[in-house]
Amino acid sequence: MLELELSSLENIGQTDHLSASLLTEEMGAYEYTNSSKGNKQIVFAHDKKLIHFIFSLAGNVSVWADGDNTKQEVATDNFFVFSNPYQSTKLFFDVKSASKVFTIIISIKELHEIFGSSFGKDAQAMNEFMESYKMKKFFINKVMTPSISILAHQFFSGVKRPNLQKIFHQGKIMEFLSLYMDAPNSEQEADDACPFVMDALELSKIKEARDIIVGNMISPPSLKSLAKLVGTNEFKLKFGFKSVYSNTVYGYLLDYRLEHARKRLSVDKSRINEVATEVGYSNSSHFIAAYKRKYGITPKQHLLSVVS
């Protein structure tokens, strides 16, 4: 099934800028870089049994479905989940100059097999994923976390030897599914995960608090100031945040800082001192110690492994 879908890619032109991986007839991925001066349009034949996870790894990409001209803008800080379980159709991608689109494609059948084997025959895990996948809209906008961004960038570049690529790609898709399930982003998902937040208004305040601390990594406000900024009290903020994001406010921020640092080292090959300052460490030795506690290696060891 998927082999025909991948072969349906039209109007690519420069096929040397297209990478595709067919892992099974039910699971695969492709990546396309538009290195021309003008925009390129990709047309993909979508089978109703498939789910698409759509990323922009560089620049901006627009995507829309046949019969619905509402374009979804995919930037480097978000990604989209697309499915139309009612009918087979076409997906259109407008890839701007110097932009790169990456898509993981999985069938419902393959998801059942994945959760039935690799996830230890965990029926609850499968049900949780299917609930997160269900949608009132065909497109769901998701936040691109640093971990998912690293995974997407490394999918077609992490392993060079052809005989190892299939194993690597399968592992990355398993990792992606775990990361996807571990970070609820939509209001409905977060609402279901949080027993302390009883209405959409309180939930929106918790999400706003998350955006504030992430946007102010270097000098985040105190818990008291943060609660005041979003219009709630410290108790609701602390317990609501823990329920939605499975972490304390500043535990979440610490993890986000280090994940962001890992992305900068892995994807951008940035200098360690620059990354330390960017994520809020005035003392690079404190950054190195925190990084090693979380990942088991120093930033320098990580950077050397990426460069090599």
**Tokens 């925190």 — which residue?**
290
Mean pLDDT of 240-251: 87
Task: Set out the domains of the chain in order of their start, with CATH numbers.
Answer: 2-183 (2.60.120.280), 189-246 (1.10.10), 251-307 (1.10.10.60)
* pLDDT value, residue 116: 59
74 band by pLDDT with thresholds 50, 70 and 90: very high
pLDDT digits (tens, 9 = 90+) for 94-110: 999 889 999 999 987 78
Q: What is the dihedral of CA 198, 204, 208, 209, to 10 degrees?
A: 0
93 has which bridge partners? 42, 63
In which element (H, E) is residue 122 found?
none
- 88, 128 contact by CB (below 8 A): no
Mean pLDDT of 214-222: 92
**Cα separation, 281 vs 264, whole angstroms:** 15
pTM of the model: 0.72
- 197, 203 contact by CB (below 8 A): yes
**Cα separation, 162 vs 115, whole angstroms:** 27
Distance between alpha carbon 281 and the CA centroid of its chain, in Å?
25
